[in-house]
Structure formats: C-alpha cells, structure tokens
Structure 1
C-alpha cells in the first residue's frame, strides 16, 4: 500500500500508467463536459456526473483505465444506434443510451470515454441502502418485466449481456465485489426523475450534497506524482431505499456491457459470472460456447433477487461444489453425464440424488417462502398470493432448466403466465 487508506473510493494505487485517469471537480472533458461530482467506480473505470455545456443537461461520463477494453462502447453503439429496431419493441428505451464517445490523454495513458444518461442508483444499491432490502410488490413486478423486456431486445439484436467483470461503474450504495459483476441487479439502474437538468450545480449540491474531498497522502511522506489526483472523492448518492421506491420511480436502464458478445461473431466458453448465479453449463460443458440461454439462467436469478430479500443460491464463501449442491437441492438431480462427472456428489448425495448427511434440503418452494414471502410478511409488506406464487415458480423453473436448450427463450419468458397477468400490466402503468 502506497497511500493512506480512504474508504469508499477506488484503489489509489491504480492511478498509474495503464490505470485510472486523475480527475478533479470542475475539470472540463472533451471541451464540453464539466465535472460536477463522482457517480461511481469499478476496477477498470470511474464515472462522473457532468454538465453538458452544449446541450445544458446532466450526463454521466465513464472514463476507462488506459488498459481497459473499449468493447462496451461498441456494444452500446450497436444496441442504441440508428439501425432498424423491430416495430413494437420497447426494449431499446430500456438500454442505457450512448450520447457521445471520445478519448482523453493523460499522465497514465490514453483513456476511452463514453457519455450516457445519468442514473439514480442500481437496484442492488437501493436494496443495500435499505433496512428491509425489499421492493414493494407492484414495483418488483414492474422491475422484473422491464429487465425481461430489455434482455429480449438485447437477444433480438444478436447480443448476450454476459458477465460484466471489467468496466463496471458502480453507483454509491454498492461496493465493488464479485456479486455485482454480471447480468444482475447491480447492473440495472434507476432512471433519474425529470427536472434534474433544470437545476444549477449549486442546487444539485444543496439537494444531494457537495463533493466530499479527502486529501491523498503518500505513506512515505513524499509528494504526489502527476498520475495521482490530489483528492479522492466519495461518490454521490442519488438513490433511495428500496422500500421507498414507488411505481412512478421504478423506470430502469440496463447498463454495463463490457462482457457482452454476439454469439454469431464470437465464441465464448468462459463465464465471468459469479458462482452463485453462473449457469451450470459453464462448469459441466466448458468446451461448449455460451449463448443466449446463459442469460436466461442469470435473468431468473436476477428476477428472484428483485422479488425477495435473499438470493436464490447463497454464494457467501461458497465453493463451486457448494453452489452445485444448492442447485440440486432446489431443482433436482443433474443431467446423467453431469451427475457422473461431478465427483463431489459422492460426499453429499446417493446415486439416486438423496442427501447422505443430515442437512436442511431447501426446495425451490422452500426458498421462495424463506427468501421472498416470509421477509415480506415480517416487514408488514404485501406478499404474493398463491396463484401468483405458483405462476412465478413455474416461469422460474422453466428458466432454470439445467440443460441450456431446455430453458425458455427471452420471448417465451415474456409470454409466461406471470409476465402476462402480473408483471407486464404493472410495467404498462409506467
């Protein structure tokens, strides 16, 4: 460690050749974007709230490290560009829009930058800023519908969202951890309410707080090199606790495309998704290229996280075998060849799939009760009625089929009973 530790900021040692670009409040980027505050940071980027001096609006400017992959910009250009969009597809409006792209040169190299709409916080940030970690029932339905619609649009354009592990701009209320690096609610952002553009910078500071600057100090007492900023900045918090989000404030944008790929153009066999929501074929069929069905598995896990308080599969300190064991407990025995190739099964199950040790077996229904329904009742919130619960579980089971070819497609998810009768009607109220 070269610098005194400062909480809730990017790793200061990464201000080096190949790393972050030093930015200060008031800097003007690309001769147009005046930096107002910090929105967040990831391992390969920092993201800044800026005022577009030409169009007089607030934007988010994501500044990559000089050794980062600029692929995210290319994917966003393809998804939000001017090419023909299918008639009747609302999904394009749910993708974080790309306004501009440019490069800046600094003491640490040349940095790819892109400009998008600013957002309030991620869904996971809203939950982490909450005591209950729950969304209201109507909000959770609308959020799930929007996410499914966004993924259906992404797939229709030929892209898989994949696992985001390089350029994530985490908004305050989330911390940089593997649990936020994929098609996951850490990558789903709440839109900012209308009217922000009419606020002056001072009004922004009055409403949300001025930048919290803390001097960067070397441990050896020497002066800072030009590659390091003089002050660190804690990201601004524009969000609100999950239980306080109303239906009118539940509009989202799907972000973080650094690991997205087009299966028709690029064969990808390695999943960067965290173990807890990684599709099982990434483990048991590592030589088979990943495709759209891998998004369906993680979409199911994301919908679960939106509806409830606890994740479907507990990834805290879990090994790959722990997660596979949880998947078998919840969904049943693996396909025969996977089952035979999983050597650790002998320590946990009989050949027929029965547990050999006394431990709590939690079915999908058990997990829904303990992770979704019970926390809602405990917090005095409305829980799901029996008919709706059964429709949710039927949809999720079909999305969580072990074999990728047996999972629902994104369009079939939208046609499921729960989406048609409960989720999409709430989304349409937006």
Structure 2
C-alpha cells in the first residue's frame, strides 16, 4: 500500500493529540500480555467527550476497538482514536475495521499504519470505502515508540533486544575476582524481575551459567500466584506468558546439575548451541527437558543473527514468535549482541559504589569498536530512582 499522509503535514489539532495520547497510554497497559500481537488502545469520542475506551488486554482476547465499543452504548457518529491501524483480516478475532463500520463511527484517527502484510493500509482502505473519514499519523512518534518491538519483528523477523546490566559508578559489573552479588539493592532488583515478567525470554551466556549458576525466573508474588486463564494457548503458562530461559552455548554446554537444567521441566529452558557441539551431548540435555537448537555458524555475531530469526518465527518450540528478548549477560554475550547491532534497548542499573581494578569487567566485552563513530548510539528514554540506585533506559 502507498504510505498514508501524516497528519503532521496538515497540522495536528490539540483535540486529536489529546485523545490519541490517551489511546497510546491505554495501549501500554497491554505490554507483556498480548505479544506476539501489538499493544493497542482505542478511545471513542463524541462532542469532545469520551464515550468509550478499551485496550487489547491479553493474547487471543478482544482487540482494543472491540473493547472500546463494548464500553459504549452507541458509537454512531463518534470519532475512534486508535493507536494502530484497525485490522482487516480474520485472525483469532474478526476484523476490527468491520466492527467500527458496523458501529457507524464517523471518523477514525490512527497513530501508526500497521506494516503487517495482512493489514498494511488495508484497514484504512476498508474504512474509507465505507464512507468513514480516516486521519493517520497523529502522535506518530509516540505510537511508534510504544510499538517499537512489534514493528521490528514485523519488518525484520527478529525480536526486540533489551540489554540489562547492573554496574558500579565506575562502570564495573563485578570485582576483579568476579564477585557481582549484589551491586544494586533490593528495590532495583525488584524492577529487574518486573522487566523479566514483561518479556518472552531471558538470555545468558555460558560464562554466566558457570560463574553464577542462575535460576533466571520471575520472583514476584503476583506473578508466582498467576493461574493460566481458560482457553489460552497451552504453550503459554499464564496471562503474562511463561518466561523462556535461553543459554547461548557456542562450544560448551551447561552441566546437567545446574539449576537451569534441573528445573527445565518447570520453566522452559532452551540452549542455542554452536555447530561443533556433539548431538549426543545435546541429547543428554533433551533427556532433562531442555530444548536445543543448533546454529549453522560458530561465529558469535552470525549465531545471534540466526537465533534471532528463529526466535522471531513460529518455528521455535513455543510455537509463537517472540517479540521481546532480554539479555542479562555476561559481558561477552552482551558484547556480541552489540557487535551484531542488535541492542534495541538498554536498562543500565547504576549503584552508588566504586569498585575499581583494571581487571574488573565492564558490561560489554569483545569485540568492541575501534572508533567512536562505530559505537551503538541510543537515545535516553527514562530515568528511574531506587533508593541509592538509578536505572537509565536508552532506546534506538
């Protein structure tokens, strides 16, 4: 489809910006619940008064437009503000464009045109064919910011990569002896578990598995008590989806006695292995309910590219494309993701401590860059404070 004209070219009214901002804020409530679908919000307005609103709340559930129409007694003649173009195809739910047409809305305002090949302007075309006025591009930057992970997956087939690390004021993630627990305090560590609860998978390298023997689970009371809702995909454990634990193992595999392997029957554990690892060794992990997938290349950067395409497809063991991947370390794995140009978002937790030591590691290992012009450039998105720690969030 041809690109739709942005409302910015015609001037965005304060009224449109106000209600679209509310629709985008509503959409954000669905993040971590609806993937691989996009988080979407919808607000219905008549005579400058909100008469209904809703957002896509869970994967497989009603879309935002349907939720908003259900919240409204009569939408005839109303304006619908939708953060993403209404769908025009039958998926798990009927087309939302048709629902708006049946409701006889007079106008639809869209923030972001959906690049998904089964939509891609088709929803807008269907609305206009029904005589409904459509405006696109309102609060487009904010809408694309919220939809960054979805847009990346649709356009590239890869999930959005969130790098997380905790470091001292002088940029160390451990002492020169490798001690790293705990650089930050309890409040910051709770924020890490909240982040884990919102992503599809969390990844570490073999260095972290050997050094820390991590469990990599979400340890929050409200998550631990969550029960699977009826009728959801059996491969998804709860409304927040069950976190998948990933280990990048280029040349060596986790020991069978590690916590990750011992708990694989309870929490999905996948190993992304290099091509030189023997099938017999992979079979031993499979006997402990660990899923394994072997890359064709042993080059770290190529392994990351291949694995991201696999994770972003429906061919992975979960049967659903992943939208958010969180990489927790160690520094070598994070360095490889940086070298592969696959750091989309960084959560840097900084503690009020100074560690020092030439041999104390930083968050990103080899290969690094030789010139500053080659460095990954991100923009600051948010700053949070946790007692004596801070979190800086940077995004592409």
Query: Which structure dedicates a bigger proportion of its chain to strand?
Result: 2
**Shorter-chain TM-score: what band?**
under 0.3
Query: Which structure dedicates a bigger proportion of its chain to helix?
Result: 1
The one of the two structures with greater contact order (alpha-carbon pairs below 8 A, sep at least 6) is 1
Q: When the two structures are superposed, what TM-score results if normalisation uses the length of structure 2?
A: 0.26
